[in-house]
A and B are shown apart, each in its own frame.
Chain A
Amino acid sequence: MSRLNITLCGVNFKNPVIAASGTYGFGREYNEFYPISRLGGISSKGMTIREKAGNPPPRIAETPSGILNSVGLQNPGVEHFIREDLPWLREQDTVIIANIAGGTEEDYAAIAERVNASEVDMVELNISCPNVKAGGAAFGTSCMGAERITSIVRERCPDKPLIVKLSPNVTSITEIARAVEAAGADAVSLINTLLGMRIDIRTRRPILRNNKGGMSGAAVFPIAVRMVNEVYNAVKVPVIGLGGICTWQDAIEMTLAGASAIQVGTVMFTDPYAPLKIIDGMDAYLAENNISNISELIGQVQLW
């Protein structure tokens, strides 16, 4: 499938379909359905320097064509990942992206240093998690915060291509994208989840124990397409598009909007095989249309 082969920030991907952070763990569970080597890459569950307990349940609520989640970055800590999961992941022949998060500048600096010295292929900096009190989106929703954290991580993690994952819960995502580009990001990925809330009318309580959560799934797809297109036109670094991609048609649409690669997340809960269907569908589409490589389609939407 050379039609789907891409190089992103110097890293070769057999296809541009990446499992989105938080929906795929560290790949082990889905490897019980199919070899995860089929995927172009895997973005790990968001990790912090120390183990994190996460938020109390319920942590998920269904919404029309989507979900809200408030997991709150539960993870075993980066050392555990490097010791227990990374050696196994390395054997799976897929690009490994370490998604990293923190509560303070010091946390980000420490984890950046740690992953820089590890065997991961790329780093995805999460400054957009809506479910934690400290850090996360607190940094990612202002240009100054986003630029500062990106600079710190860039400095401590000089040897890995750095993707910065952007929050859609901002007035202008293009300004944030420009800020992280200026601070040294090699790529940006967007969108993280949109803040939302649901209320149980019988109990008059929010369904999520954390009251609010991040919305994802098919419902957010048009917002993601719009933001990817705006950011594509605003920065020079590659854009990784995600948010509600469910089908190969969505993946092609996201590519036309400006995505060099795409991430697939929530649809996995409906269909664990969705990424494989997307890969096969994209390849067939390229073959039918005599397009020799997916990169020819990046940003090729003709705006009115």
Chain B
Amino acid sequence: MKYTQELCPIVRKEQLNQTTFRFTVASREAVRSMKPGQFANILVEGKTLRRPISVCEFSREEGLIRFVFEVRGEGTAILSGMSEGQRMDILAPLGNGFDIRPDERAVFVGGGIGVPPLLGASAPCGGNATALLGFRNRDAMILADDFRANGADVRVATDDGSFGHHGFVTQLLAQRLDEAPCDAVYACGPKPMLRLTAAEAEKRGIRCMVSLEERMGCGVGACLVCACKTKTPDGGEKYLHVCKNGPVFDSREVIWE
């Protein structure tokens, strides 16, 4: 059985800023076969649809999974109201995740709430990783110190210039790609950011993997709602599905619209 439904006790709850929470949960089953970049579909009390939340970090040895999410609507608001000791009902591990080689010179590009899955993904790369993180402003900045603690070269951009580079994170990407060699780019964030990230990488011939979001149903590839338009090898177009074929796609496959 590839998928697990597990009731995971919340061992630690932290509020990272006004709207962002970090939950550390204990897991025996789901964590065993987990990969960076995968997600869990989390039950929300009183709601029909679970909420897909990306895995921020996990430790197989300690049996722990960390989720970092932003309160965006009713569902995430209810989730954020859960307390330590309560149990999260998760379906996991879902999706394909990132395939990362620890020895590659990898650049991670994250925007806002797209930053969390890159933390666990970049950890194995240690000092080989560059983390380019974009936020609305200084208050929205999350996890920068965690990336630093893993050894990554961290550079931050904010839309209003209240911290780091005043502008887009993709400008930091262009700068980084021009100053030193890079084997691969891994990105997660809003679609316009992903599209620009893909363009910067592709024009330099660098492999770029993007983690996409779409409104989701089952989370396992059965209901086909979370469609993402992609190119087929024969030059056609096809809807693949973020939950099963993704959430991570090769940027050259994605049709941005």
Q: B225–A59 contact, CB under 8 A?
A: yes
Beyond A32-B220, A71-B223, 12 additional contacts (C-beta under 8 Å) are A25-B221, A29-B3, A30-B222, A34-B1, A54-B239, A55-B227, A56-B227, A58-B215, A269-B49, A270-B43, A270-B49, A273-B5
- Quick check: is A139 within 8 A (CB to CB) of the other chain? no
Residues of B bordering A, CB below 8 Å: 1-3, 5, 43, 47-50, 75, 91, 214-229, 237-239, 244
Residues of A bordering B, CB below 8 Å: 22-25, 29-30, 32-34, 45, 53-63, 65-67, 69, 71, 74, 207, 217-218, 266-273
Contact partner, A269, options B50, B214, B221, B244, Cβ 8 Å: B50
Contact partner, A272, options B91, B237, B239, B244, Cβ 8 Å: B91
Residues of B within 8 A of A67 (CB): 48-49, 217
Residues of A within 8 A of B222 (CB): 23-25, 29-30, 268
In whole angstroms, how far apart are the Cα atoms of A69 and B239 in the complex? Answer: 16
Residues of A within 8 A of B226 (CB): 57, 59-60
Contact partner, A62, options B1, B47, B228, B238, Cβ 8 Å: B47
Query: Given the known A-B contacts A57-B214, A59-B227, A69-B225, are A29 and B244 also in contact in the complex, defined by CB atoms under 8 Å?
Result: yes
User: Which 10 pairs, one residue from A and one from B, show the smallest C-beta to C-beta distance?
Assistant: A25-B222, A32-B2, A60-B225, A59-B225, A29-B220, A29-B222, A58-B215, A57-B227, A32-B3, A29-B221
Query: Given the known A-B contacts A29-B218, A218-B48, A272-B5, are A22 and B43 also in contact in the complex, defined by CB atoms under 8 Å?
Result: no
Question: What number of A-B contacts does a CB cutoff of 8 Å give?
Answer: 104
Closest chain A CB from B32 CB (angstroms)? 15
Q: Which of B2, B3, B227, B237 has the largest number of chain A CB atoms within 10 A? A: B227
Look across to chain A and name the residue whose beta carbon is closest to the beta carbon of B238.
Answer: A53
Closest chain A CB from B191 CB (angstroms)? 12
Q: B223–A269 contact, CB under 8 A?
A: yes
Q: A269–B215 contact, CB under 8 A?
A: no
Contact partner, B217, options A53, A55, A60, A273, Cβ 8 Å: A60
Q: A269–B3 contact, CB under 8 A?
A: no
Q: A69–B217 contact, CB under 8 A?
A: yes
Look across to chain B and name the residue whose beta carbon is closest to the beta carbon of A213.
Answer: B225
Residues of B within 8 A of A207 (CB): 215
Closest chain B CB from A12 CB (angstroms)? 26
Q: A53–B239 contact, CB under 8 A?
A: yes
Q: Which of A34, A45, A272 has the largest number of chain B CB atoms within 10 A? A: A272
Q: B1–A32 contact, CB under 8 A?
A: yes
Look across to chain B and name the residue whose beta carbon is closest to the beta carbon of A208.
Answer: B215
Contact partner, A33, options B1, B43, B217, Cβ 8 Å: B1
Query: Given the known A-B contacts A29-B218, A32-B1, A53-B239, are A45 and B49 also in contact in the complex, defined by CB atoms under 8 Å?
Result: no
Contact partner, A56, options B47, B50, B223, B229, Cβ 8 Å: B229
Residues of A within 8 A of B2 (CB): 32
